[in-house]
Amino acid sequence: MAPQSYRLVMRTGPNPGKSFPLTKDELSIGRDISNDIVINDAEVSRHHARLLRKGDIFVLRDLDSTNGTWLHERQVDEVILQDGDALRLGNAQIVYKSGFSSEALTIADEHLVKMAARRPVVIALPHSGNWDAAGTFNPGTHTVTLIGTGARTVTSGGQEPSSA
């Protein structure tokens, strides 16, 4: 089996699609050219974050940056990264990838989301008003089926599907 490859892939920002292999045990991230990973964005601090490798685990640590480090819309000071984690530093969205093949290191294209063969994703919603429910989201049809109080099926745009 090939050794596992770790990398960050910039989804949006100054270099969309750029891949940063994580080959060192400690990497610095920031706007300054002295960093291992340079993000040329005015919203990124000169020395924004540090990435530490501990065995097969990478820990991202914010270095008291001005605009913070964000993981899935939540500001973090330190976090253990998991495959597919979407990070935001300034205006750059970066995805952490770990995988054994080049296919596992890519970001899914938009057309993959539309594939009918994708399995539904099970979701659970906290009690809120009439919605005390669990359900599924089907990426192929862009519908959400909720089961529970006020159960119904809606499209990803929030509309009930037509019965035509």
Q: Collapsing DSSP states into helix, strand and coil, what is residue 128?
A: strand
| DSSP-H helix ranges across 24-144 | 110-113
pTM, entire model:
0.60
Give 58's contacts (C-beta < 8 A, 6+ positions apart): 6, 22, 51, 52, 80, 81, 96
Closest to 58 measured CA to CA, from 28, 112, 96, 91: 96
User: Tell me, what's the pLDDT at 24?
Assistant: 93
Q: Which long-range contacts (CB under 8 A, 24 or more apart) does 65-72 make?
A: 65/30, 65/89, 67/43
Q: What is the pLDDT of residues 9-60, one digit of tens each?
A: 999 999 999 999 999 999 999 999 999 999 999 999 999 999 999 888 999 9
Closest to 49 measured CA to CA, from 19, 70, 20, 73: 70
User: Tell me, what's the pLDDT at 112?
Assistant: 41
